[in-house]
Chain A
Amino acid sequence: MKTMILTVVLLGLSVGSVPAVELSLDDDFPVVGQDQRVGVSGVERAEDLGLWVVYSPNSETSTEEEIGRFSSGGTVTWNPSRFGIATLSARDAAGKAVTTENVAILFAKTPRSGVLVMLFAGLLLFGGAGFSLRSVLASGVPKHSPPIDT
């Protein structure tokens, strides 16, 4: 009986001490068009796993790509093709995800059109709000107001 309990405890401990499967990247924020080394840890045979990426340009559409299989050292090279939030997943031979990781992929250089829209919209909206509020306040406020009764 004691042996059985010990076995169960040891089994429990060994299960508890199994490291979680994790993905790691050279950079926390990969850049479009730049090679990125993705590593997997916590598995016995990394070469049995493949790396997949799901790009989600918006929540309605997503495109999935297979990047390749991990080397025996547990790494694979990925060249991000789209800006935005993507989900990386390490999958076994049956296609089941062993672990997943979200990453934010950055533009290779500051997008001029984005900066222009941001500045234009900011000036337009805040300028418009300021100008019209000033006009409202300048037009005066009634001294005696009827009671509010909805």
Chain B
Amino acid sequence: MSEVRGSWGSKLGFILAASGSAIGLGNIVFFSSNAYKYGGGAFYVPYLVALFLIGIPVMILELGAGRFTRRSMPNALYEVAGKRAEVAGWFGALNASIITMYYIAILAWILGMWVGSLGALWQASPVEAFGLASGELSNSMSYFFNMISSSKPLIFVVLIWAANILIIIRGAKSIEAVVKIFVPLMWVMMIVLIIRGITLPGGIEGIFYLFTPDFSVMGDVGIWKGAFSQMFFTLSLGFGIMMAYASYLPRKNDDVLSATTISFLNCSFEYIAGLAIFSLLFAFAIAPKASSLSMIFFVVPEGIAEFPVFVGIFGFLFFTLLLMAGLTSSVSLVESVVLSVIDKFGLPRMKVLMGVFLVGLAGSVLFVLPEVVDPGLNDDGTLGFTLVDLFDHWAFGYGLLICGLFELIILGWLYDINALLAFINESSRVKLGAKFKFLVRFILPLVILSILVLSAIDEITGGLYGSAMETGGYTGLHLVAFAGWIVFSFGGAVLFTILKRRGEGGGV
């Protein structure tokens, strides 16, 4: 590598930046969505299991591999196990690109809510675009659905992409500076919301809903898939983000300590966010319309609207912080893709940034298409939201687990795991031994593989996800989404792998 790679200003800076990447919409939007989707307590116990079984071990491996190779994920995997491993790395990077596209679409909607928090969000508004009676939806729901069925998010998506590119051009130092301010503020905001939630009648019961295990449904493989995918997503695993971040670390770093710190900080924040959101969910008896991914847009504003004073200010602050938390994570997502391309092809940084910007923007625009396809809001309402729901099912639900499985097989079997563990152990106080190796080589791949196979069987026997959705005149949209995910992530991975590497004489 001819380029000089920067490094983190301090260990705390790295921890905050990495947890800033980890603390994002995953903790607030996706955690609450999945916890609600899978039944609160029925989800939380598998989620805790996933933290220790999958989250911390895979993060240790990703940090170690990133620090060892000083490369982004596809190139790190190429370095440790050749072309066959590189294709898995590109699959991870491209699957992450799809997630980035709809992640930025969700951020565009958050920007829309942020604009609304200046006034319109707190006033009653009729539901114009959908065939629902006035008063059938709460203020926040009607504002949200009116907003996503307008053309405003198309502008917001451009603004969010531009903000991402600007932050990346300024470099990692700007991320570090931003998260040092915004991550602690987000904690304070959530604690204020918890106090509001539990002081409302019924609020405490929402917390019981989140934590009370329902053993009667915990045998459902879908819940475990949801919990494991959530863990990958929330800890930014399987994206290449952690490998990219770790490649900036000094040669000597305690990866075990870094991984546990980031994981515990991240999941502690999720715990806090869960308390806040579920107490409000119950206090206001909100049954979210459309995919549960939208619930954050209704639940928190309902809670804030009940504040005795400063409703507008709290609302504005909440959406500002959510926007910032989302931006720090989306910057990491975009950066990991940019870095992967630069590492392989040695192209100028600005060229790669512009390429990623244009392709990413085109994808994100698809996810905010405002055409109403489901006027009764029985499913997702607009075409863009329906696409978010469908692609999320594949890229988030399956893609991250597949990428994790590939990583474990490559690092555990194709590469000399002993060499990687010895490298990690060199600078870690807690030494990883035979048990960890057994976990990485046998237990984790088997667990992930079982979840994937059982879920795929459910999918085949029960009908492909989305086949029963209301999609207006767009029949077969679920098939288009499935095929789109396959072609973009698997097909793209093969293409990127066979393209010539910088300094490589011939193709493959």
Chain A residues within 8 Å of B172, by CB: 148-150
Main secondary structure of the interface of A (DSSP, over half): mixed
Which of A45-53, A71-79, A114-122 touches B? A114-122
B48 at the interface (CB under 8 A from A): yes
Closest CB in chain A relative to B461 CB, distance in Å: 16
Distance, CA A114 to CA B257, complexed state (A): 30
Please name all residues of chain A whose beta carbon is closer than 8 Å to the beta carbon of B202 when the two chains form the complex.
28-29, 104, 106
- Nearest-CB residue, chain B, relative to A56: B287
Q: Which residue of B lies closest to A110 (CB)?
A: B208
Which one of B136, B205, B254 has the highest number of Cβ atoms from chain A below 10 Å of its Cβ? B205
Q: What separation, in Å, do the CA atoms of A72 and B311 have in the docked complex?
A: 43
How would residues 20 to 60 of chain B score, 1 for a CB under 8 Å from any chain A CB and 0 otherwise?
00000000000000001111111011001000000000000
Q: Please provide the chain A residues from 103 to 134 with a CB less than 8 Å away from any CB of chain B in the complex.
A: 103-104, 106-107, 110-111, 113-115, 117-118, 121-122, 124-126, 128-129, 132-133
B 204-223 binary contact with A (CB < 8 Å = 1; else 0): 01111111111001000010
Partner of B254, one of A118, A139, A145: A139
Least distance between B166 CB and chain A CB atoms (Å): 13
Stretch at the interface among A1-9, A10-18, A33-41, A83-91: A83-91
Q: Is A136 an interface residue (CB 8 A)?
A: yes
A contact residues around B268 at 8 Å (CB): 125-126, 128-129
Report the separation of the CA atoms of residues A41 and B330 in the bound assembly, to the nearest whole angstrom. 50
Complexed CA–CA distance, A83 and B208 (Å): 10
- Is the Cβ of A104 less than 8 Å from the Cβ of B283? yes
Given known pairs A142-B10, A142-B250, the reply for A125 and B171 (CB within 8 Å) is no
User: Which A residue sits closest to B4, measured CB to CB?
Assistant: A149
Give chain B nearest CB distance to A116 CB in angstroms: 8
- Given the known A-B contacts A20-B135, A129-B268, are A136 and B45 also in contact in the complex, defined by CB atoms under 8 Å? no
- CA gap between A58 and B288 in the complex, in Å: 11
Residues of A within 8 A of B37 (CB): 58-60
CB distance from A34 to the nearest CB of B (A): 14
When chains A and B are docked, how far (Å) is the Cα of A132 from the Cα of B6? 25
Q: A60-B38, A121-B211 are in contact. Are A104 and B261 (CB under 8 A)?
A: no
The answer to whether B173 touches A111 (Cβ under 8 A) is: no
Are A114 and B38 within 8 A (Cβ)?
no
B-side contacts of A113, CB under 8 Å: 41, 212-213
Contact B15 A104 (CB under 8 A): no
Contact of A132 among B42, B176, B261, B292 (CB under 8 A): B261
Instruction: Give Cα A149 to B168, complex, Å.
Output: 10
Contact of B8 among A57, A122, A145 (CB under 8 A): A145
Q: CA separation between A71 and B48, bound complex, in Å?
A: 48
Tell me the bound Cα distance from A19 to B424 in angstroms.
71
Note all chain B residues with C-beta closer than 8 A to A146.
6-7
Q: How far is the CB of B186 from chain A (nearest CB, A)?
A: 15
**Interface: A135 (CB within 8 A):** yes
CB distance from B278 to the nearest CB of A (A): 10
A145 neighbours in B (Cβ, 8 Å): 7-10
Taken together as a complex, chains A and B put the C-alpha atoms of A129 and B264 apart, in Å, by 5
Q: Known contacts A136-B12, A148-B7; is A111 also within 8 Å of B208 by CB?
A: yes
Q: Is A24 among interface residues, defined by CB-CB distance under 8 A? A: no
- Could you say which residues of chain A place their CB within 8 Å of the CB of B207? 114, 118
Q: Does B407 make an interface contact (CB < 8 A)?
A: no
- C-alpha gap A142/B136 in the complex (Å): 58
Instruction: Count A interface residues, CB 8 Å.
Output: 47
Complex contact A150–B171 (CB within 8 A)? yes
Instruction: Tell me the minimal C-beta distance from B356 to chain A in angstroms.
Output: 14
Q: Which single residue of chain B is at the shortest CB-CB distance from A62?
A: B287
A147 is an interface residue with CB less than 8 A from chain B: yes
What does the 1/0 interface line of B251-286 toward A look like (CB < 8 Å)? 000100110110011011001000000000111011
Residues of A near B339 (CB, < 8 A) are 150
Residues of B within 8 A of A150 (CB): 6, 168, 171-172, 248, 335, 339
Q: B258 to A102, Cβ gap below 8 A?
A: no
| A85–B282 touching, CB < 8 Å | yes
A93 at the interface (CB under 8 A from B): no
**What residues of chain A lie closer than 8 Å to B286, measured between beta carbons?**
85, 102
Residues from chain B with Cβ under 8 Å of A56 in the complex: 287
Asked whether, in the complex, the Cβ of B211 is within 8 Å of the Cβ of A148, the reply is no
Q: Tell me, yes or no, whether B11 is within 8 Å of chain A by CB.
A: yes
Q: Tell me whether B292 and A128 are in contact (CB under 8 A).
A: no
A94 within 8 A of B: no
Look across to chain B and name the residue whose beta carbon is closest to the beta carbon of A134: B261
- Chain A residues with Cβ below 8 Å from B5 are 149
Task: Determine how close the nearest CB of chain B comes to the CB of A121; give it in whole angstroms.
Answer: 6
> Taking the nearest CB of chain A, how far is it from the CB of B380, in angstroms?
12
Q: A118-B207, A136-B258 are in contact. Are A141 and B11 (CB under 8 A)?
A: yes
Is B355 an interface residue when CB atoms closer than 8 A count as contact?
A: no
Per a CB cutoff under 8 Å, which of B205, B212, B217, B267 touches A125?
B267
Task: Give the chain B neighbours of A132 by CB distance below 8 A.
Answer: 257, 260-261, 264
Residue of A85, A107, A129, A136 touching B285 (CB-CB under 8 A): A85
Given A20-B135, A139-B11, A133:B265 Cβ within 8 A: yes
Query: Is B184 an interface position by the 8 A CB rule?
Result: no
- Given A104-B202, A148-B6: A114 in contact with B254 (beta carbons within 8 A): no
| A102 to B298 alpha-carbon distance, docked (Å) | 14
**Nearest chain B residue, comparing its CB with the CB of A31:** B205
Cβ contact within 8 Å between A29 and B36: no
Known: A132-B261, A145-B10. 5 other contacts (CB 8 A): A58-B37, A107-B212, A117-B211, A137-B11, A149-B172
Query: Across chains A and B, which 4 residue pairs bring their CB atoms closest together, nearest first?
Result: A114-B212, A58-B39, A129-B264, A149-B6
A-B contact pairs, 6 of them (CB 8 A): A58-B39, A118-B211, A122-B271, A136-B258, A148-B7, A148-B176
